[in-house]
């Protein structure tokens, strides 16, 4: 546990992490045009890594490990955790990031983002140990959504490496009560039958919004209400998304915004990880839609 009385308090560490992420965002964005190509390496999940993934990982790694109160740093692009100094062990946060989520969208010039989870426990840990989570969305506008115990806010980030301007545009983001959109990943023939049946129902009720970057697709759900899923697949029962870097932070944000998230059996935030690169099926959005889905999968 971080002692709020020591070195400025728990909240100041969380704020400093998001200051670091916001400060890095314009620089990452500016660097993308020249980094749409394969880097020639694979990450811990066995996926090929683009030059943009590596660059974002490097900049964010430097900025986040420099924050006072951050004891360790883990990234989708790094096999092992990085010791960040700042109060190692007791009294330090662990920060997990997906430096570029949806980076296959780089080549086609579509939305992508950065996902951040701030855990009050050494990783791997469950999402119940999150004290804050957020994401940067590189869309037509660069925005940052941050959730903590107080709620969910959205900021617009502008500027360059010479200086960053942040404006809070929403202070209490909530999922709309009347959901409008859905987005489901994976190939339809790879979906289990019970998920396909649910999808057929949802197609009658909501509009498809799927862009191939979880952050962009979840931001549609946060804005318009609805459900996002990267489901369990017949040959990949754990789906594709990673618990520590992707599913947990998104589940935390959506829960704080009044929605919920499941792996099909239990709340995402209750899933016990074995390792930091574990994958998990993710179904997230308005409560009514996610509960119906969980019942359909039972």
By CB under 6 A, the residues from 123 to 182 that bind ligand AHG are none
- 39 lies in the site for ligand AHG, by CB under 6 A: no
> 36 or 292, CB closer to Mn ion?
36
Q: Binding ligand AHG by CB under 6 A: which of 86, 179, 185, 259?
A: 185
> 98 or 129, CB closer to Mn ion?
98
- 217 lies in the site for Mn ion, by CB under 5 A: no
By CB under 5 A, the residues from 98 to 127 that bind Mn ion are 98, 100-101
Q: Binding ligand AHG by CB under 6 A: which of 98, 129, 154, 255?
A: 98
By CB under 5 A, the residues from 50 to 109 that bind Mn ion are 76, 98, 100-101
Q: How many residues bind Mn ion (CB under 5 A)?
A: 4
> 101 or 120, CB closer to Mn ion?
101
Number of H helices, E strands in the chain: 7, 15
CB 49 → Mn ion: shortest distance, Å? 8
Q: Which helix (H) or strand (E) holds 168?
A: strand 163-170
Q: By the 8 A CB rule, do 281 and 230 touch? A: yes
Q: How many residues bind ligand AHG (CB under 6 A)?
A: 13
* φ, ψ at 204 (rounded to 5°): -80, -20
- Contacts by 132-136, CB closer than 8 A, 24 or more apart: 132/14, 132/17, 132/18, 132/252, 133/248, 133/249, 133/250, 133/252, 133/253, 134/18, 134/21, 134/249, 134/253, 135/101, 135/215, 135/218, 135/219, 135/249, 135/250, 135/253, 136/21, 136/22, 136/25, 136/215
Q: By the 8 A CB rule, do 138 and 115 touch? A: no
> 10 or 293, CB closer to ligand AHG?
293
Decide which of Mn ion, ligand AHG, none touches 223; Cβ closer than 5 to 8 Å per partner kind: none
Strand partners for 112: 138
d(CA 20, CA 7): 17
Q: Binding ligand AHG by CB under 6 A: which of 73, 119, 184, 230?
A: 230
Q: Which residues bind ligand AHG (CB under 6 A)?
A: 47, 76, 98, 101-104, 185, 212-214, 230, 240
Q: Which residues bind Mn ion (CB under 5 A)?
A: 76, 98, 100-101
């Amino acid at each position: 546990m971080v002692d709020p009385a020591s070195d400025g308090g728990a909240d100041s560490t969380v704020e400093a992490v998001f200051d670091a992420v916001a400060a890095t965002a314009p620089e990452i964005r500016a660097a993308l045009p020249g980094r749409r190509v394969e880097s020639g390496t694979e990450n811990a999940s066995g996926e090929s890594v683009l030059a943009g993934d590596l660059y974002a990982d490097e900049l964010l790694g430097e900025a986040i490990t420099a924050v006072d109160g951050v004891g360790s740093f883990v990234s989708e692009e790094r096999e092992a955790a990085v010791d960040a100094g700042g109060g190692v062990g007791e009294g330090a946060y662990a920060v997990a990031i997906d430096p570029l989520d949806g980076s296959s969208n780089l080549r086609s010039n579509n939305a992508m983002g950065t996902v951040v989870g701030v855990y009050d426990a050494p990783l791997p840990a469950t999402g119940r140990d999150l004290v804050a989570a957020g994401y940067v969305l590189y869309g037509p506008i660069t925005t940052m959504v941050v959730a903590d115990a107080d709620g969910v806010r959205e900021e617009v980030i502008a500027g360059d490496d010479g200086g960053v301007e942040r404006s809070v545009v929403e202070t209490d983001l909530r999922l709309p009560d009347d959901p409008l959109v859905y987005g489901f990943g994976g190939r339809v023939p790879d979906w289990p039958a019970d998920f396909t049946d649910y999808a057929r129902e949802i197609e009658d009720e909501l509009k498809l919004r799927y862009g191939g970057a979880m952050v962009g697709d979840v931001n549609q759900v946060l804005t318009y209400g609805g459900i996002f899923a990267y489901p369990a697949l017949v040959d990949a029962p754990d789906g594709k998304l990673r618990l520590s870097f992707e599913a947990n932070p998104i589940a935390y944000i959506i829960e704080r915004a009044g929605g919920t998230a499941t792996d099909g059996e239990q709340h995402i935030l209750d899933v016990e990880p074995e390792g930091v690169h574990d994958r998990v099926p993710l179904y997230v959005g308005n409560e009514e839609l996610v509960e119906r889905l969980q019942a359909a999968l039972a």
